[in-house]
Amino acid sequence: MRIEVSIEGGFVAAPGLAKPIVLDTASLPPAETEACERLAREAVADAGTAAGRPQPLMRDGRSYRMKVDLDGRSVSLDASDGSMSPAFRQLLKLVRSHGSR
């Protein structure tokens, strides 16, 4: 599975941070790969609920677009600092800690 996260907004514009963070789960240990897949499925399921819907942007908040290649299809998920599902938040944390720009 491949996950790409683009981040926009925030307090300071930093061009180096505009580049997406990419994680290929093939590079992870099996337990972390399974966790990523589980969280991705939960985040996709949450996208249709109130918890997964992007809300109006917060001043100086960041917005996130996550592209997930899952089960042979590509899914785009959007969230912001002011509203993201718990699964999206946990998956974002994994991508930030294990992915690369």
**pLDDT attached to residue 52:** 47
CB 79 within 8 A of CB 27: no
Contacts of 61 (CB under 8 A, 6+ apart): 9, 10, 80, 81, 82
| Residue 56 is assigned to a structural domain of this protein | no
**pLDDT attached to residue 10:** 62
| Residue 57 is assigned to a structural domain of this protein | no
Joined together, the tokens standing for residue 34 give 């399974």
pLDDT along the chain (101 residues), means of 10: 87 69 94 94 81 57 88 90 88 94 85
Joined together, the tokens standing for residue 65 give 């677009």
Closest listed residue to residue 50, CA positions, set 11, 97, 93, 86? 86
**pLDDT attached to residue 46:** 85
Q: In total, how many domains does the chain have?
A: 1
**pLDDT attached to residue 8:** 81
| Residue 39 is assigned to a structural domain of this protein | yes
**pLDDT attached to residue 49:** 64
| Residue 90 is assigned to a structural domain of this protein | yes
| Residue 8 is assigned to a structural domain of this protein | yes
Q: The domain containing residue 45 runs over which residues?
A: 2-51+62-98
